[in-house]
Structure 1
């Protein structure tokens, strides 16, 4: 049974008998002159951000785009002059990245596994604080403890986020079995050339479920969540895959803007606060807005999801799983509300989306951008997996190849790094056809376990990405681990010894005894030592 969810009907999709797109009122799309100029300005700012050296991005407590589309880099007094020397506009802030990370860890440690009345929490780079959305239903004692944490800002709202759904008018939907429709997201291909599209995880939670292009279980296009390993609707994210297997269905990279000029997707990007984004929805049609928050933990009530982004753009029930765009770059998959599609939306009136690069990297999929035209290139990582122990480094080769036209300059960066892991490229910029070495270094306190790293390649005329499966190891088992201390803040993945056992923190913990009555699963018993 599918859970609730919003989806954007990004008519990018698949058109077999082509899903008909009835005429609709178009919102302010990329073809609007002012919006087009702003998007070009923001694109230049994002290239400036990707061109900054790794140390500047990693030490900065945040970056965002202002109302004019200019890049702003937050820096402490100690780093401000060095960042300015790189040509970046600097906003001097009081709290550094380590302080914000510490405040976020303290907030996470205070929250129970299912916090009632706590909508979301995460770093707000513009405010230089950790922002926590609370409702009147929140426990007053918990609210008081959160308010007492240095570096935390509480935002009181009335409603709560929800994953939207509903039977809505036809447009460019797809149907999971006999359930109400979701929306088609971005078309992708696998390593064997198989056709698929990305959508919402809660739209694909049934294993091997038939997917249709019409209601009433008609016009089958393929199968969602093949084998049960192609859908996530949990802390990891809200994303899923539908395999396109039926004869006659083809992929299209042209996004339906509902009356405007279709937008052809040329690559993917990460969301940045202040960035202009648009989405195409089966219900809300074409809507644009501004990224308000990134890397947020959202409490939907039935599920808590990490790493989501929010926007002021309008969305409605039936939009679930559709495509979010930043100019002509794929940026996200629609997840939920509570958008009410009103003017001047407040803090509890926003749309929520799953960053698309995480989905591409998780399943090793390539964004479909149509037949290559002009200058283009590919990027790959070898080996495709890497294990690094805490306190050590490991390296892989990042190779690029010209696939059409002439060679172009390509700037390399990485996203999805676990806490305590840094990435450096040598060189950081190559000419398509050349290779670089990516070195990943894990600190002594790095978060352990598996992670998917997305290698982003920003070219002069195209953007491409590749994924790397990273495993960060911990210290050796046994009582050689440091003894648990009630006064220490522990990050997720920290390993301690207590009462003859070794324990690993499943999420941040403070003053919570491993195996004690108030453990609530915050510590995992690794065995006697």
Structure 2
């Protein structure tokens, strides 16, 4: 079932310091809109009318004028889909909001769409496959006596019973025993109970495992294999251009990349699946069903990808949007806020980290500076960011903080009719709840002409 994503997304402009609201509610009327994506940390929305552009600006996002609106793109997609079903060498096809076209990826190219306005054919070298793999140490589950898959996201039904979501091609057998270890050891429950809780067809690649055995519990904490666990706080839809990470059963287990396309039709050879998301992150056999996240938000269940990672391929991995799976079986995602800290200061080490290096702030360029935190546990909320420097027009600047998980927080947004100088020292409070350790990045973009400055240093207290 192809999902028709409404293109407009409204952002809250009331708070100066806030994470990107990529999952905010869209307006009910989608006329004049044609898709969305993240570009240099900013949400951009394709529009075809001045009225739509005004609504986007009022919401705090950036409009991009395009030729085709969403209805025209959907009609073009339907035409492409009809032709595509008759082809044998296509890897994927779907709408690209950035180019305002339907993009078809074909092994060795294709002439089937020659002369079709608005369709771009890209030649690729590899076919996708739904992944399976040999046994390696890690956090996985085993469907019967088959090769292993990966646990997606735990959820509960209306009666409070425990389940977890995973890939449909891992749960295709009805009432199959599910194990927590190889060789049919440590049974945890049953997959595809009654034969109605698994789909691996055009509608999607998603399934449900019921956790029924004594002693098994479920948790909202995602295994990141060596780094502190990420606690899932909710679900969201992925957006082109944003950073996502996935956890799976095959080494290196935790891998991140960029969303390259959403709502794509994928040809796995043995099955065609609609509505999937592609990313540049690598994945391996055995990762199927695993968790995809945007920061601490659940976005998908691993579906497949290249048989091995291809350098430079923006479509290395594929996932099924998790929200559709939750809605399909009326399940509630298990979420948490992290465990309370019984010790007010379990790690007395430093919590403030700084970078004193000077970086010029030039017109229409971005100054980028990083610091590496070695602090344990979660961040304070709010955490503190202190920026030191000079610039003749603060209103020209977009200042943002990027966390180790890839989540963006805007400290200062570009805009204003009167220029004021950037204070020599300015401190921002950021309402974050992240893993403290890792590389934090400060980005200062100058969006206006005629004013210059220098970032002379900055620090973060986590």
Judge same fold: TM > 0.5, yes or no. Answer: yes
Could you say which residue in structure 2 is the equivalent of 1:46? 22
Could you say which residue in structure 2 is the equivalent of 1:174? 141
Q: So what's the TM-score if we normalise by structure 1? A: 0.59
Could you say which residue in structure 2 is the equivalent of 1:328? 296
Could you say which residue in structure 2 is the equivalent of 1:112? 85
Counterpart contact for 2:166–2:288, Cα < 8 Å: yes
For 2:84 and 2:264, the matched residues in 1 are separated by 15
Higher helix share: 1
For 1:167 and 1:373, the matched residues in 2 are separated by 34
- Which 5+ residue runs of structure 2 have no aligned equivalent? 1-15, 341-430, 434-462
Q: So what's the TM-score if we normalise by structure 2? A: 0.67
For 1:245 and 1:304, the matched residues in 2 are separated by 32
1:210 aligns with 2:184: no
What does residue range 41-190 of structure 1 map to in structure 2 within 5 Å?
43-46=19-22, 50-55=24-29, 57=30, 59-66=32-39, 68-78=40-50, 79-112=52-85, 115-136=87-108, 143-190=110-157
Could you say which residue in structure 2 is the equivalent of 1:340? 308
What does residue range 345-424 of structure 1 map to in structure 2 within 5 Å?
345-347=312-314, 349-370=315-336
Superposition deviation, residue 99 in structure 1: 2.1
For 1:373 and 1:195, the matched residues in 2 are separated by 20
- Higher RCO, Cα 8 Å, sep 6+: 1
Superposition deviation, residue 58 in structure 1: 5.5
Superposition deviation, residue 346 in structure 1: 2.1
Q: Which of 289, 296, 303 does residue 264 from structure 2 map onto? A: 296
Superposition deviation, residue 184 in structure 1: 0.8
Superposition deviation, residue 96 in structure 1: 1.7
For 1:58 and 1:199, the matched residues in 2 are separated by 35
Question: Residues 363 and 42 from structure 1, CA distance in 2 versus in 1: closer, same or farther, beyond 3 angstroms?
Answer: farther
For 1:58 and 1:201, the matched residues in 2 are separated by 35
1:252 aligns with 2:219: yes
Question: Residues 300 and 158 from structure 1, CA distance in 2 versus in 1: closer, same or farther, beyond 3 angstroms?
Answer: same
Superposition deviation, residue 60 in structure 1: 1.2
Cα distance per residue 1:461-512 (max 9 Å; x no partner): 99xxxxxxxxxxxxxxxxxxxxxxxxxxxxxxxxxxxxxxxxxxxxxxxxxx
Counterpart contact for 1:103–1:149, Cα < 8 Å: no
Number of residue pairs aligned between Structure 1 and Structure 2: 326
Question: Residues 354 and 42 from structure 1, CA distance in 2 versus in 1: closer, same or farther, beyond 3 angstroms?
Answer: farther
Superposition deviation, residue 92 in structure 1: 1.1
Counterpart contact for 2:32–2:48, Cα < 8 Å: no
SS in 2 for 1:261: coil
SS in 1 for 2:34: coil
Question: Residues 204 and 43 from structure 1, CA distance in 2 versus in 1: closer, same or farther, beyond 3 angstroms?
Answer: farther
Counterpart contact for 2:285–2:307, Cα < 8 Å: no
Could you say which residue in structure 1 is the equivalent of 2:254? 286
For 1:317 and 1:42, the matched residues in 2 are separated by 37
SS in 1 for 2:178: strand
- Which 5+ residue runs of structure 1 have no aligned equivalent? 1-39, 375-459, 463-529
